[in-house]
Every structure is written in structure tokens, then in C-alpha cells.
Amino acid sequence: MAKGIDSISLPLKPTTPMYARDVLAKLNATLVIRYNQQGKYFQGFTEKFPGDGFEIEGGRGYIVNTRESQIVPFSGIAWANQPSKTFSTAPSNLFEGNTWAFMVTVDPGSMSNLNFSVKNQRTGNLAHISQPDSDSIQQAIWADWSRQPVVEVGDLIEISIHNQFQVLEKCLRTVQMAYARAPYYAQYALLIEEYFKDPDPSLINRNMRFIRAVMEILDIRTRFITSSSLGITSKNTQLLVDLLKEIGADTYLCGDGACGYQQDKLFSDNGIILEYNRLIALCIQSIGNYVPNSSYLGYPCSTHYLMFH
């Protein structure tokens, strides 16, 4: 198998059932996508998802994104299930290195029944939205079986909420109930309400306006630079390092979540100090079991913190 996005079908039936998580481990892959023929939608799985994912079946193709080129051995017995009566025509040419499958996951949290769209602003193509079950993260997937690229480096991906007012009104009520007795909620209630009642369908615009307003309250004067404005075209950890070098950074404050996939050595190789943020902040419990690092509303001295979950 070549490194990157490829397709695979199990040649033999495993002695024990194989699931999406097993494929990730066996192929050293970051993503596996199948087409759910019954529901007529694409379904993806990554190592961050809960459970083992969907079962791998015979006679079906799966899209995978592998970290390295490799020869993968399989063992088992011959498949007994019958193939589909219709067969897809193989592409006449294979394009190596093309990103012909791409997935964006959207975890709405408490915002159930969220209706949203995901669009590549360069091509105008909308992703196929699916949610395999009520407990799963919603997925937006582009896939082209002819292996034409669906995204390119530098593409802007736009996420828009369509039934936002009904959903966000519910979220606002949840926040009001949770923080009504927080020491400083009344002081900033209008700021919270304005965020949830903002008519702009663009999440990035809404979030940035809110973050800038919070920064002004906390007297944080950090300058914002969008990565898209710098014209950097490298990928993965190298992209992050190149962005830091472009703006003259000597230290990178990193969240714990990056330790599983980030190449830490690249930072030191380029003279950049890497510091993981493992801040444990003390907080006042307004009601019940307070979740730390989720909001700044409950802090009596909030100028030291800007924590959003």
C-alpha cells in the first residue's frame, strides 16, 4: 500500500471479526471510510472515536489514510458472501498524492438535531453529512472514487449552521440555568446572550467576535494572525513549525491532545521550545460538580484565565 489515501478490500475473511479500529491498527492508518449501502451515506472512523466502529465486510471497498508505505499481510479463509451484482468501473488513471477523500467531524455536544453544512470555499462543493447513530459525532465527508482531489492545501472549509436560532436558544437557556448563580454571570450575561443570538451563520466569525470581546474584558492584548494569510503550504507538524518560524516565535504552547500525533522533535530541530500546557486551575464550584477549564464565568479573578471548553 502507498502512503496516504488509498482503498482496500480484505482478500480473506479473518478468523475473528475485524472492525474499523482493527484496520487503523493493522495499517497504521489515521482514517477509514466506508459507504453505507443501506443508508446511502459515507461513514468514517478515526482512533479518537469511541468503540471499535463498523465491521469490515467482504466484497466491499474501504478508503484508508495510512502513515507509511507498506506491505500488509492478511490471513484467514475465503469469503462465502456473494459480491454485488453491479460493479463500479475502475478509474483509467491513478493519481498519486491526491487528497481524494477528506472528512470533517462536528461534535455538537448538547446541541442535538443540529442542521449544518460544510463547504469547500474554493470548489463550492458541499460535503456529504452523516450521523451513523444518535450518539455518534456528525461527519462531513468528501470522497471521489475516481481519485480526483476533493481538497487542496490552503482550502478554506466553511461550516454553517442552518437551524441555529432554535438550537442556540436552547443552549442559551442551558447556560443561564447553569451559571445564573455564578458570581460574575450577571455582569457578563449580555455578552453571552449576544453570542447565542448573533445572526451570522459562520461559526468562525461568531467565535472570533466573542473571543475578542472576552479578551478586551480581560485586558489581553495578544495579536491574532490567521494561518491562511501567511501563504504556508507545508503539511502536518511541519506546517505548524513553518508558521511559527514565519512569525518569529521561539516557544510554542501546546495542548495535551497533540502528543499522540505531533512530531515534537521538529520543534527542537528548528530552534523552537515546545511547552505542553498542563495547567490545573483552582475554581469555585457554583453548583454541583463543577467542570474545570470549561468557562471563565465562575472565577473571582478571571484576568488570569481564558478557558473555554
Residue 252: what pLDDT?
92
Give me the mean pLDDT over the 265-270 stretch: 93
Give me the mean pLDDT over the 180-199 stretch: 84
Residues in the chain: 309
Burial of 296 (0-12, 13-18, 19+ CB in 10 A): buried
- C-beta neighbour count of 288 within 10 angstroms: 7
The rounded mean pLDDT for the chain is: 79
- Helix (H/G/I), strand (E/B), else coil: 121: coil
User: Could you tell me which of 135, 129, 109 has the C-alpha nearest to residue 117?
Assistant: 129
Position 164 pLDDT exceeds 80: no
- Name residue 308's amino acid: F
Q: Give the whole-angstrom CA distance, residue 130 versus residue 141.
A: 8
H-helix segments, the chain: 20-27, 164-179, 185-197, 203-217, 236-246, 265-269
Which tens digits make up the pLDDT trace of 12-38? 888 888 999 999 999 999 899 988 877
Residue 112: what pLDDT?
59
Q: Cα 255 to chain center, whole Å?
A: 15
Which tens digits make up the pLDDT trace of 204-225? 888 899 999 989 988 888 888 8
Backbone angles phi, psi at 69, to 5 degrees: -75, 145
Q: How confident is the model at residue 226 (pLDDT cuts 50, 70, 90)?
A: confident
- Name residue 173's amino acid: R
Q: Give the whole-angstrom CA distance, residue 175 versus residue 198.
A: 16
Q: Would you give the DSSP letter of residue 302? A: G
Which of 12-16, 199-203, 263-267, 283-287 has the least mean pLDDT?
Answer: 283-287
Position 163 pLDDT exceeds 80: no
Residue 301: what pLDDT?
42
Give me the mean pLDDT over the 52-58 stretch: 88
Residue 95: what pLDDT?
47
Pairing relationship of beta strands 251-255 and 273-277 according to DSSP bridges:
parallel
Per domain, the residue ranges of the chain are 1-162, 164-222+281-304, 227-277
Residue 59: what pLDDT?
80
pTM, entire model = 0.52
Q: Cα 191 to chain center, whole Å?
A: 27
Residue 272: what pLDDT?
94
Backbone angles phi, psi at 300, to 5 degrees: -70, -30
Find residue 202's DSSP bridge partners: 160
Highest-confidence segment of 73-87, 103-117, 162-176: 162-176
* Between 94 and 22, the higher pLDDT residue: 22
Q: Give the whole-angstrom CA distance, residue 205 versus residue 211.
A: 10
Backbone angles phi, psi at 261, to 5 degrees: -130, -15
User: Could you tell me which of 192, 181, 236, 253 has the C-alpha nearest to residue 217?
Assistant: 192
Q: Which residue in this structure is represented by grid cell 511547552?
A: 275
